[in-house]
Structure 1
Amino acid sequence: MTHPPFRFGPALLFCPADRLDRFAKAAQRADAVILDLEDAVAPDAKHAARLALVESALDPERVIVRVNPASTPQFADDLAALRATDYRTVMLAKVEDTADLVDLEEFEVLALCETARGVLAAEAVAELSNVSGLMWGAEDLVASLGGSSSRHADGRYRDVATHARSRVLLAAGANGIAAIDAVHLDLGDTAGLAAEAQDAAALGFAATACVHPAQVPIVRDAYRPSPDRLAWARDVLAAADGAPGVFAFRGGMVDAPVLRQAEAIVRRVRR
């Protein structure tokens, strides 16, 4: 099955869709802007947000529009506004079943698996042909479980959040689509954001979502391989040319999986 290619860079920036004055700057600062009609917009501002969306004229290749869940009354109005624009990449909030995407066949979809039902449905959702990526979310997940905190006091995710993150990543990887890591809400914890983004890049996430422009350069730096790591990747790929299936390189064994990891490092530089 062929899925739409994930064409965005690693730093995706949320922007409230009722703040038209911020659209262009957010798009300029990040690799793509997520114009948010859902959680970032108060119920009484939804209509104004849709009008702002229709009025905007950003590059559609760098815009994602987050719409309200398919189960809500706002969903149909969101789609009506979206169809009046050139934007064709949708982030569907709180996906819980493949049926949630029935009305989105004309769009490229990033499915947000952020509830208990959504995480369990990630594998089936990832198989849909118009889905180019999956994202997970810690806070809505814990809320759906009746919990009150996704993290320990030291900032580490609790086990259920880590499990959800891994399951969404595996579902995306098994279907050859992108995985997007969750937002880091503690704006002052730049070290924590950097560590999580570095971990995401190492595991194969394609991007990390940001909630503030200051997070964008931190995420970009985290996804960018270090000079030493990039040099190793290029050298080992060069050494593999004409080498047997398994060979020794600088004291380590190199086989096909190691070469694929080296190729992934080089691809991150080209994005």
Structure 2
Amino acid sequence: MSKDSLALLQSARSFLFVPGDRPERFSKAQTSGADVVILDLEDAVSARNKDSALLAVTSWLSGTGQAVVRIERDQEVASLRGIPGLIGVMVPKSEDPVHVSRVHQTLGCPVIALIESASGVVAAHSLASVPGVARLAFGELDFAADIAAQPNQRAMLLARSSLVLASRAHGLPGPLDGVTPKFDDDSALTQDLHAALELGMSGKLLIHPRQVAVTHHVFRPSDDEVAWAGRIVKSISDGGAVVKVDSAMVDAPVLRRAQAILARLASDARTLVNHREAHAGGSLAEEDK
């Protein structure tokens, strides 16, 4: 498993879905400013297009593309093995730790376990403990349908908190919150992001590039984090093999985290500019259908 891929998936805030049968949108998504692109072979692709979507995804990832793939069938797992641009795989409807482990062992890349059912929430601790799982993610809409509830903040509170607790207990970063369907409603997205942050979630599944800038703005590092990162980087720049900052030793992982914080801050500024120029077209998952 690539340490770079694992580090990316565990620090990323924005995960942008793109239908696997729309290869003309792959590069557009990759330049959207999203931290991670997810090529979707599940819900976004009709049954008749599954095979052509798999071919499009493997072809793009065999070239210059890099992405996570949301899989659906065993055939897809076999076809993705050894593909150079595959940085991770999302397992939908994750409930069985043995199945998730088998996917990781077959592909050798980090796994995002997407939890979309009551059984998945109950199994969250077991799923978070599987070697190779980089992140838990919450499929709010499918979960709400599974328990016959409304997909609102109150009804989803226990499930979200369960994923946060399982992630924390097993040393994973905060889980990824589910999609906000109204891709052109920045206010709704902002409310969802703040609600997720308050619970301890640290990333968001997205369906349109215009959602990237708002997500990065809400999830941007705090002033305290930026100040801390600056002190860490400066301490290393000043020299010395062993340094202490704020009474704590600074080693390579600490330095990488500090550098990642400062890099995210710079990326946020660029993404906000792009957002102001974004068109108001349909989502990558829905437009031109």
- TM-score over 0.5 (shorter chain): yes
1:12-51 equivalences under 5 Å are 12-29=15-32, 30-51=34-55
Give unpaired runs (5+ residues) of structure 1: 69-74, 152-156, 243-263
SS at match of 1:35: strand
SS at match of 1:7: helix
Change (3 A) 1:25 1:235: closer
TM-score normalised by the chain length of structure 2: 0.71
1:208 corresponds to: 204
Q: What residue identity is the alignment partner of 2:76?
A: D
TM-score normalised by the chain length of structure 1: 0.76
Q: What residue identity is the alignment partner of 2:50?
A: K
Change (3 A) 1:269 1:235: closer
Change (3 A) 1:225 1:101: closer
Give unpaired runs (5+ residues) of structure 2: 233-244, 248-256, 265-289
Whether 1:171 aligns to 2:174 is: no
Deviation at 1:205, TM superposition (A): 2.6
Change (3 A) 1:32 1:230: same
**Counterpart Cα distance in 2 of 1:190 and 1:177:** 29
2:254 corresponds to: none
1:97-246 equivalences under 5 Å are 97-104=96-103, 105=105, 106-147=108-149, 149-151=150-152, 157-159=153-155, 161-178=156-173, 179-201=175-197, 203-225=199-221, 227=223, 241=246
Indicate conservation of the 8 Å contact 1:230/1:266, yes or no.
no
Deviation at 1:200, TM superposition (A): 3.2
1:159-206: CA deviation from partner (whole Å, max 9, x where unpaired) = 2x1111111111111111131111111223211211322343454433
Change (3 A) 1:268 1:96: same
SS at match of 1:134: strand
1:117-143: CA deviation from partner (whole Å, max 9, x where unpaired) = 011101001001111110011111111
1:82 corresponds to: 80
Deviation at 1:103, TM superposition (A): 2.6
**Counterpart Cα distance in 1 of 2:259 and 2:57:** 36
Change (3 A) 1:175 1:51: same
Q: What residue identity is the alignment partner of 1:26?
A: A
**Counterpart Cα distance in 2 of 1:65 and 1:235:** 35
Change (3 A) 1:101 1:225: closer
Q: What residue identity is the alignment partner of 2:196?
A: A
**Counterpart Cα distance in 1 of 2:142 and 2:113:** 14
SS at match of 2:31: helix
- Give aligned pairs, total: 233
Deviation at 1:241, TM superposition (A): 3.8
2:8 corresponds to: 7
**Counterpart Cα distance in 1 of 2:97 and 2:229:** 41
1:52-79: CA deviation from partner (whole Å, max 9, x where unpaired) = 012103656x5110011xxxxxx11111
Change (3 A) 1:59 1:129: farther
Per mean C-alpha deviation after superposition, the further-off stretch among 82-91 and 32-41 is 82-91
Q: What residue identity is the alignment partner of 1:131?
A: V
**Counterpart Cα distance in 2 of 1:131 and 1:198:** 25
**Counterpart Cα distance in 1 of 2:25 and 2:147:** 34
2:282 corresponds to: none
Change (3 A) 1:169 1:268: farther
